[in-house]
Chain A
Amino acid sequence: MPTVSVKRDLLFEALGQKYTDEEFDELCFEFGLELDEITSEKEILIREQGGEKAEGASDVVLYKIDVPANRYDLLCLEGLVRGLQVFKEKLEAPRYKRVSPADGGEPQRLVITEETASVRPHAVAAVLRNITFTQERYESFIELQEKLHQNICRKRTLVAIGTHDLDTISGPFTYTAKPPGEIRFKPLSQSREYTAAELMSLYKTDSHLRHYLHIIENEPLYPIIYDSNGIVLSMPPIINGDHSKISLNTKNIFIECTATDLTKAKITLDMVVTMFSVYCDEPFTVEEAEVVYPDGRLSVYPELAYRTETLSGDFINKRVGINESAESIAQLLTRMCLRSEVSGEGDLIQVEIPPTRADVIHACDIMEDAAIAYGFNNIVRSTPRTYTVANQLPVNKLTELLRQDLTAAGFTEALTFALCSEEDIADKLRKNITETRAVHISNPKTADFQVARTSLLPGLLKTIAANRKMPLPLKLFEISDVVLKDETKDVGARNNRRLCAVYYNKSPGFEVIHGLLDRVMQLLDVKPGRNQGYHIQAAEDSTFFPGRCAEIFSCGKSIGHLGVLHPDVISRFELTMPCSAIDIDIEPFL
């Protein structure tokens, strides 16, 4: 969930009202936001870097507000204030308008060449005219781009935004892709020109930019945007040129978004322009720009598309569980920036979805907004009349019964991880990893999670190792799932419910574990015997001490092993005493 940091006093000024922290927290809760933290730059510095570094830092109170991941329109102060003001009915949602250049001139044009196809094929653009920045507005503008980059743009992989002082460059602009050696320009905040190849090594150590290098690093061609004089606007998705950088004094802004996902590029551009057109001389207007594709097609951006959905008041009432008139529902929706009107035919409501609400893709999204505006906590809670009979999953029912009886037999239940290292299920048990049928994880962060366990034994032995100080004997069990490769399954693997128990003492206690097997079989109503019953017979298994291992058969089918563990197994789990164990599959008893 993205977190937006705003200055409290600035926020209240923009909202035209002061709140106590509790009141604001309550407002957030109702609207689906979360006031996550109240802090200041100084506090943050003290916490992150210690008191010395924080000296002289600002004490201005900051609200850190968690915003739902799909609400890109709330990622900056401007958007938050607009959303809350409309919600509180203090403001009518603005109408965003795309306009042609004022003087009747040609729109700015961005020409895409076919070379971009292999690396980053899409681009959209727009112009903000006669904008007035202040320090705060400027910072918010930069911050919004960063938030969008981190969220909808998926760390610039899907979309990268470039903003430029239009008065320093001249169109038409060309979006192309070139070999890194042929790209040369002075990037933002550097004092000289670099080739693209040099830049990539320069930014290897840049704490911020190094995260984006991988996106194009191994591409033969890098994306690049030039103006008509060959000046570099940007090398997306890495860095802008220094020449066209914006400042507090910038009046006219050229915005380009290059992308691998055109839908997300359009949304991103719409967000930037809808949020900041409020500071244009003609608020909420955005000057169009043309994008020409390699095949000659021409598109005009930003889309700023309004869409109308028609739904009935009855639909909302039935889905939410309220009973409101169509008019009142239309009013609720309007408070969520979804301008709505009752159309006159029955209880049909016309809902207009603005370009800021890209998250509304279905009538159910509109229904949710009605419920939020109504207040989730004002909805009457009622019990559905759905009549059903409960059933337990047989394997879980059996597990529950056996667990109870194993504790009654004096064994204590352990709960161990289903993931472990290869070593745990192979080397430490004196097995070869290839014979374990283990499922392997491709991207574990630590060696503790290389495979899904194929046996419950390593977990129990680790539990004993962690409890060596407890008085002997230690008697532990677990009934849980292991995972085995199985080609007959759609995913190629299946779980297997197993029962494992260990006895750890100064003497091996084979008879204790054997006694436990007898008790379990008694509970499962399987009598001792060769054919219809159960029996054990000597077996060799590398995990067990030679001559001290038996295979367990029930109704003629092998279900597992019991025996005294091999001394090497004991020492590999950092244990010192003899130990006996039983490991059986309980699924045959279902």
Chain B
Amino acid sequence: VSPSERKASPKVDGGTDSQDVAADLGVDHQVIVGAVKSLQALGEVISAEQKSSRHWELTGEGREIAEQGSHEARVFNAIPDEGLPQNQLMKMPSGKVGFSKAMSNKWIRLDKAHEGGPRVFKTVEAIEDTVRDKLQLVQKGQSAKLEDKEKNELKKRKLLSEVTVKSYWITKGSSFSTTITKQETELTPEMIASGSWKEKKFKPYNFEAMGVAPDCGHLHPLMKVRTQFRQIFLEMGFTEMPTNNFIESSFWNFDSLFQPQQHPARDQHDTFFISDPALAHEFPQDYLERVKKVHSEGGYGSQGYKYDWKIEEAQKNLLRTHTTAVSARMLYKLAQQEKFTPVKYFSIDRVFRNETLDATHLAEFHQIEGVVADYGLTLGNLMGILHQFFTKLGITKLRFKPAYNPYTEPSMEVFSYHEGLKKWVEVGNSGVFRPEMLLPMGLPEGVSVIAWGLSLERYVDTHT
């Protein structure tokens, strides 16, 4: 126990103020504060409650006056009975201030007409230096004896200042002791080796503080949700499609999906077209002819759109507007197999729309897509599979709204009941691919292809 720590230990059961301790022991208050803090660190030896009080203190000039007397008293005392020439008086350190104060106190007078220049004389025999007396009271800590008015006057003269002092109210703690053991901060290998830890006391931990952040990297939150969706598809037996081709021809992005060439989605305002390489060159020729025919003349039980289909439009390269372009390529490939086999495909990848970025518009986002091709699939199957898919995300309440999409019929918007928002929100789109899309590819008549899609970004926005 250091001397100041011992000093800081309360002498009385009721407690004491750290300022009083400092005054009693005649040491600086800061020394006591340091002692209080180091005792506190030991646990419950003492308890100290911080408080603040205001008190008066002498300024530098105030302390000088308390020692040497006020300027006016010093001026008075410097004047002999025969008086002093004013210019000589003014040369004194306290001359200027002391002269005017002493004049207003009527302790001295100035004889301007005196021969040999203006001369100052005492007017009274003796004076009482009240300023010095008051300051000395404050210095002794007895400022309470002064009236507020007096203190304020001295403050105005910059002899006194009011200061806030933070002190501690110290009382005995629950494990108060007059002897203290230094507490250890941490267990060390040496303590374990020597067994000295058994004798030691350990400083308590502050369990309120935050831990140190681990030194590690993080996955991007959106990509974590992508992984989650990918996992769900894999659990459901879906095979991942090769969507690593951002550049697509209008043919695969639109024409193969039976999306007519005048469709607004094919407008410059909605789709990014490519200037270099501007055109796609290779297409499966006979398939292309069948696509052309179904658009312009119909067939496969369809009336078609009855317009002049142009290869030039189909050749235009673009940034794919949906991953369904890849689904079309995959279904075409499937149709080229000697014998049809059922498939379940999925993809999660970037798609692009010609938008200007703002809070609600992105020029690129991730489309999640699922496709099932098999004989005899029904609309009820699509709803059933969507139910399974969304159940894996914790979304169990679904309902379906009729919608329009050029390449699916029927088309359904998928709504889920949002427990947080207490309303139905759209979570995706779905449908059965049109025969005008599937039959020209060469898929057998009885095969239905059901599909659905949603935006990863939109899902994350509304559901996480």
* B307 sits at the interface (CB 8 A): yes
Q: How far is the CA of A377 from the CA of B424 in the complex (A)?
A: 14
B376: chain A residues at CB < 8 Å are: 318
Indicate whether A248 reaches chain B with its CB closer than 8 angstroms: no
CB A400 to nearest CB in B, in angstroms, measures 7
Q: Which residues of chain B (241-287) have a CB below 8 Å from chain A? A: 241-249, 262, 264, 268, 272-283
Cβ of B42 within 8 Å of any chain A Cβ, yes or no, is no
In the complex, the answer to whether A445 meets B356 with C-beta atoms within 8 Å is yes
Q: In this assembly, does B173 line the interface, its C-beta being within 8 Å of a C-beta of chain A? A: no
Identify which of B218, B247, B277 contacts A413 (C-beta below 8 A). Answer: B218
B385 close to A383 (CB less than 8 A): yes
Asked if B116 is an interface residue, CB under 8 A from chain A, the answer is no
B392 at the interface (CB under 8 A from A): no
A342-366: CB near B (< 8 Å → 1, else 0) gives: 0000000000000000010111110
**Which A residue sits closest to B216, measured CB to CB?**
A410
Known contacts A319-B379, A386-B374, A452 near B319 by CB under 8 Å: yes
Contact check: which of B248, B273, B304, B402 meets A491 at CB < 8 Å? B248
Known: A417-B364, A439-B277. A444 touches B272 (CB 8 A): yes
Whether A362 contacts B434 in the complex (CB less than 8 A), given A320-B380, A442-B275, comes out as yes
A3 to B92: give the CA distance in the assembly, Å.
96
Residues of B within 8 A of A439 (CB): 247, 274, 276-277
B302 within 8 A of A: yes
**What are the residues of chain A within 8 A of B400 when measuring CB–CB?**
376-377
User: Given A419-B352, A492-B280, A382–B384 Cβ distance below 8 Å?
Assistant: yes
Q: Which of A372, A400, A485, A497 contacts B402 (CB 8 A)?
A: A372
A102 within 8 A of B: no
Tell me if A100 counts as interface (CB < 8 A to partner B).
Answer: no
Asked if B238 is at the interface of the complex by the 8 Å CB criterion, the answer is yes
**A391 in contact (CB, < 8 A):** yes
Asked if B381 CB lies within 8 Å of chain A CBs, one says: yes
Query: Which residues B206-237 have CB closer than 8 A to chain A?
Result: 215-220, 222-223, 227, 230, 233-237
Contact B272 A441 (CB under 8 A): yes
Interface-forming stretch among B21-29, B51-59, B124-132, B404-412?
B404-412
The stretch of A218-226, A401-409, A553-561 that contacts the partner chain: A401-409
- Cβ < 8 Å to B, chain A residues 411-464: 411-415, 417-419, 439-446, 448-449, 452
Contacts of B435 in A (CB 8 A): 362-364
Question: Which of B240, B247, B378 makes the CB contact (< 8 A) with A483?
Answer: B247
A residues less than 8 Å from B377 (CB atoms): 384, 386
Q: Say if the beta carbon of A103 comes within 8 Å of chain B.
A: no
Which of A381, A403, A414, A489 gathers the greatest number of chain B CB atoms within 10 Å? A381
Q: Does B448 contact A (CB under 8 A)?
A: yes
Q: Flag if A446 contacts B246 (CB, 8 Å).
A: no
Of A362, A380, A494, which is in contact with the most chain B CB atoms at under 10 Å from its CB?
Answer: A362
Residues of chain B lying within 8 A (CB to CB) of residue A490: 249, 280-283
List B residues 283-321 near A (Cβ within 8 Å).
283, 298, 300-307, 317, 319
Contacts of B298 in A (CB 8 A): 361
Docked complex Cα distance between A318 and B377 (Å) = 8
Partner of A392, one of B234, B281, B383: B234
Interface positions, chain B 319-365, Cβ under 8 Å from A, are 319, 342-344, 350, 352, 354-357, 363-364
B401 within 8 A of A: yes
Nearest CB of B to A338, in Å = 14
- Considering only CB atoms and an 8 Å cut-off, how many residues of chain A contact the other chain? 87
Contact A403 B363 (CB under 8 A): no
Please name all residues of chain B whose beta carbon is closer than 8 Å to the beta carbon of A371 when the two chains form the complex: 379, 402, 410
Query: Which residue of chain A lies nearest to B387 when distances are taken between CB atoms in the complex?
Result: A381
Q: Which of B235, B238, B404 gathers the greatest number of chain A CB atoms within 10 Å? A: B404
Answer whether A263 and B306 are a contact pair too, CB < 8 Å, given A443-B354, A446-B356: yes
Known contacts being A31-B402, A69-B404, is A418 close to B379, with CB within 8 Å? Answer: no
**Is the pair A261, B302 in contact by a Cβ cutoff of 8 Å?**
no
A393–B303 Cα gap in the complex (Å)? 38
Instruction: Write the chain A residue with the least CB distance to B282.
Output: A490
Find out whether the CB atom of B402 lies under 8 angstroms from the CB atom of A32.
yes
Task: Evaluate contact between B247 and A380: CB separation under 8 angstroms.
Answer: no
Interface residue A57 (Cβ < 8 Å from any Cβ of B): no
Point out which of B239, B248, B387 has the most chain A C-beta atoms below 10 A from its C-beta: B239
**What's the minimum C-beta distance from B396 to chain A, rounded to whole angstroms?**
12
A318 touches B378 (CB 8 A): yes
Q: What 0/1 readout, one digit per residue, does chain A (187-202) give for beta carbons within 8 Å of chain B?
A: 0000000000000000
Chain B residue with the shortest CB-CB distance to A389: B237
- For the complex, count residues of B whose C-beta is within 8 A of A: 94
Given A408-B216, A491-B247, A495-B245, A361:B354 Cβ within 8 A = no
- Residue among A388, A483, A497 with the most chain B CB within 10 A? A388
Given known pairs A439-B247, A442-B274, A490-B283, the reply for A415 and B233 (CB within 8 Å) is: no
CB of B217, distance to nearest CB on chain A (Å): 4
CB neighbours (8 Å) of A441 from chain B are: 272-275, 319
Query: Which listed residue (B219, B274, B406) contacts A407, Cβ 8 A?
Result: B219
Contacts of A389 in B (CB 8 A): 237, 239
A440 and B241 contact, CB distance less than 8 A: no
Residues on B with beta carbons closer than 8 Å to the beta carbon of A34: 401
The reply to whether A443 and B273 form a contact with Cβ atoms under 8 Å apart is: yes
- Name the one of B274, B302, B379, B403 contacting A440, with C-beta atoms under 8 angstroms: B274
Known: A376-B400, A377-B400, A388-B239. A383 touches B218 (CB 8 A): no
Instruction: Verify A387–B342 contact, CB threshold 8 A.
Output: yes
A170 CB–B CB distance under 8 Å: no
B344 touches A386 (CB 8 A): yes
Q: A364 — which chain B residues lie within 8 A by C-beta?
A: 409-410, 432, 434-435
Nearest CB in chain B: distance from A123 CB, A = 17
Q: Which residues in B have their C-beta under 8 angstroms from that of A318?
A: 376, 378
For A25, the closest partner residue in chain B by CB is B424
B184 to chain A, nearest CB (A): 31
Task: Knowing A32-B402, A381-B380, A391-B239 are in contact, say whether A443-B280 is a contact too (CB < 8 A).
Answer: no
CB distance from B299 to the nearest CB of A (A): 10
Neighbour of A68 across the interface among B268, B279, B403, CB < 8 A: B403
Q: Does B6 contact A (CB under 8 A)?
A: no
Chain B residues lying within 8 Å of A497, measured Cβ to Cβ, are 244
- Contact A386/B372 with A320-B379, A475-B217, A481-B246 known, Cβ cut-off 8 Å: yes
Minimum C-beta distance from B406 to chain A (A): 8
**A440 with B247: CB separation less than 8 A:** no
Q: Is B418 an interface residue (CB 8 A)?
A: no
Question: Is B436 an interface position by the 8 A CB rule?
Answer: yes
B399 within 8 Å of A (CB atoms) = yes
- Among all A-B residue pairs, the 9 with the closest Cβ atoms: A321-B380, A32-B402, A321-B378, A492-B277, A68-B404, A442-B275, A368-B410, A407-B217, A490-B282
- B residues within 8 Å of A by Cβ? 215-220, 222-223, 227, 230, 233-249, 262, 264, 268, 272-283, 298, 300-307, 317, 319, 342-344, 350, 352, 354-357, 363-364, 372, 374, 376-381, 383-385, 387-388, 399-404, 406, 409-412, 432, 434-436, 448, 450
Q: List 28 A-B contacts (CB under 8 A).
A: A1-B404, A68-B404, A69-B404, A158-B262, A318-B378, A319-B379, A319-B448, A362-B302, A362-B303, A362-B436, A364-B410, A364-B432, A364-B434, A376-B401, A377-B400, A380-B380, A383-B385, A384-B385, A388-B237, A392-B230, A393-B243, A409-B217, A413-B220, A417-B364, A440-B274, A443-B273, A490-B280, A492-B247
Known: A439-B277, A493-B277. 20 other contacts (CB 8 A): A263-B305, A263-B307, A319-B379, A320-B379, A322-B380, A362-B434, A364-B409, A364-B435, A377-B399, A379-B380, A383-B381, A390-B233, A390-B237, A410-B215, A418-B352, A440-B274, A449-B354, A452-B247, A491-B247, A491-B317
**Residues of chain A having any CB pair with chain B under 8 Å:** 1, 29, 31-32, 34, 68-71, 154, 158, 261, 263-264, 318-322, 359, 361-365, 367-368, 371-372, 376-377, 379-384, 386-393, 395-396, 400, 403-404, 406-415, 417-419, 439-446, 448-449, 452, 475, 477, 481, 483, 485, 489-495, 497
